[in-house]
Amino acid sequence: MKRLMTACFILALVAALGYFLLGAGLIEAGNLGIENAPPPIAWVAGACYVVGGLLIFLKKRWLWIAGAAINTLVIVFFYTRYVSNPGVIVSAPGLITKIAQIILEVALIYLILKYRKPATAK
């Protein structure tokens, strides 16, 4: 289970990296200008993925469920918002973040379904 949690953390860091690069202006999201993709939003999103990735190690199932739900909302929001703008979807930040987030989602769901707390001795 530790390997899976580490993999989830690394995926969260990859998503965060995509957001940080976008926030720093090192990569651009298609034809979006600064007014449509303000850097503070990218910085906050990246920070949320770093914190969320660290929370995975607390081994709290409810945190994994909350993280998976929030991650799903982020993915759905992105695709519904930019479905008519494929340049954003296939841009470097779009691909970096969404590929990592989709794999993270699958891994979190697997973790939620398979993790069992060790029995405590009485």
pTM: 0.87
Per-residue pLDDT tens for 1-21? Answer: 899 999 999 999 999 999 999
Q: Can you give the C-alpha Rg of the chain in angstroms?
A: 16
Question: For residues 83 and 103, what is the distance between their CA atoms, to the nearest angstrom?
Answer: 20
Query: pLDDT tens across 23-33, in order?
Result: 988 888 888 76
- Rounded to whole angstroms, the Cα distance separating 95 from 81 reads 15
Per-residue pLDDT of the chain (122 residues; tens, 9 = 90+): 899 999 999 999 999 999 999 998 888 888 876 666 678 889 999 999 999 999 999 999 999 999 999 999 999 999 998 899 888 889 888 899 999 999 999 999 999 999 877 666 55
| Structure token digits, residue 17 | 């990296």
Token pair, residue 28, equals 């651009």
Pairwise CA distance, residues 35 & 46, whole Å: 19
SS3 per residue for 52-117: HHHHHHHCCHHHHHHHHHHHHHHHHHHHHHHCCCHHHHCCHHHHHHHHHHHHHHHHHHHHHHHCCC
Judged on CB neighbours under 10 Å (0-12, 13-18, 19+), 72 is: middle
